[in-house]
Structure 1
Amino acid sequence: MNIRAVAVDEAARIAEIIEDCRQLEGPMLPILHRVQEEFGFIPESARQVIAKALNLSRAEVHGVVSFYHDFKDHPAGRHTLKLCRAEACQSMGCESLAEKAKAKLGIDWHETTFDGAVTLEPVFCLGLCAQAPAAMLDGELFARLDEDCLNDIVAEVRA
């Protein structure tokens, strides 16, 4: 399949998503969520299409995408590891665990490993303050994170 065919397929799918969600009250967030579910991120090309369909500026759509940390502007890895950096987790040593995770994976925040296996994201509360430090791997929560648990998580995403 050539690049032009992919672009046409992408545009057609985005148009379908917009049409499915247009009647909802406040349709931008549901549209953005569906686009990200479909493509794994919000393609730049989708922002203009969404803006035009909703009679908004592209800046307004960009503002929403950039405001919410879960929206991605580039493809993420097959796994997403989120490490909590809120105060409770900081007090329990999350910063040293974060540095170890970055070193083990060879990446920094918001980056993806060279093999596309994992994206590392900071998050500012997972709601496990009494069990800090905390992490989330692909939606699964980990409480009382320590170096052994971190090593297990990294091994799992690298497998």
Structure 2
Amino acid sequence: MSDATRVVREVLAQRAGESGALLPILHAVQDTLGHVPASAVPEIAEALNLSRAEVHGVVTYYHHFRDKPAARHVVQICRAEACQAMGADALVAHAQQRLGCAMHGNSQDGAFTLEPVFCLGLCASSPALMLDDEPHARMTPKSFDALLADARSAG
């Protein structure tokens, strides 16, 4: 039995009986494995008496969930309206150019995953992003580049 299968079965044993268990199960699987593997979808669907399409639809609908492991560092740029009004679109374009990937992709060197996030609660100091679960506000292309350099030097 693979580690992923073991994790999924442990999570299902703990949570499958809860009302509205799908999202908590998906969160627990991703928190443990770093993603929700495609192989987990049929098992989760069966345990919750849902179709595979329903589970897959939830995994793909919410930007938070990944179907493959993230890189060592995760960059999440806020895509909410306040950040967009303050230059997040330009920041996204810069990040994509600098990392050499689109949203939901990995940088060419494999060190960074770039993801959208919808509101970090830093609207008054936008545009904002999170790097490895640490929020950063009033981001510019220059400050973005500095964050990447610091993350690379830290490992």
Q: TM-score, normalised by structure 2?
A: 0.89
Matched, 1:149 2:143: yes
Contact 1:118 1:157 in 2 (8 A): no
Instruction: Report the Cα distance in structure 2 between the residues aligned to 1:35 and 1:131, rounded to whole angstroms.
Output: 33
Instruction: Report the Cα distance in structure 2 between the residues aligned to 1:124 and 1:91, rounded to whole angstroms.
Output: 14
**1:42-86 alpha-carbon deviations (Å, 9 max, x no partner):** 111100001111111111111111121101011111111111222
Consecutive unaligned residues in structure 1, runs of 5 or more = 1-6
- % identical equivalent positions: 50
Q: Which amino acid in structure 1 is aligned with residue 88 of structure 2?
A: C
Matched, 1:30 2:20: no
Consecutive unaligned residues in structure 2, runs of 5 or more = none
Contact 2:35 2:68 in 1 (8 A): yes
**1:99-131 alpha-carbon deviations (Å, 9 max, x no partner):** 221122121111012333111112232222211
For residue 132 of structure 2, the aligned residue among 134, 138, 145 is 138
Q: Match of 2:82?
A: 88
Contact 2:63 2:116 in 1 (8 A): no
Instruction: Report the Cα distance in structure 2 between the residues aligned to 1:119 and 1:9, rounded to whole angstroms.
Output: 23
Q: Match of 2:11?
A: 17
Q: Which amino acid in structure 1 is aligned with residue 7 of structure 2?
A: R
Instruction: Report the Cα distance in structure 2 between the residues aligned to 1:9 and 1:154, rounded to whole angstroms.
Output: 31
Q: Match of 2:94?
A: 100
Instruction: Report the Cα distance in structure 2 between the residues aligned to 1:16 and 1:89, rounded to whole angstroms.
Output: 39
What is the deviation of 1:157? 2.8
Structure with larger Rg: 1
Of residues 65-74 and 143-152 in structure 1, the stretch that sits farther from structure 2 once superposed is: 143-152
Q: TM-score, normalised by structure 1?
A: 0.87
Q: Match of 1:54?
A: 48
Q: Which amino acid in structure 1 is aligned with residue 25 of structure 2?
A: I
- What stretches of structure 1 move > 6 A for 4+ residues in a row? none
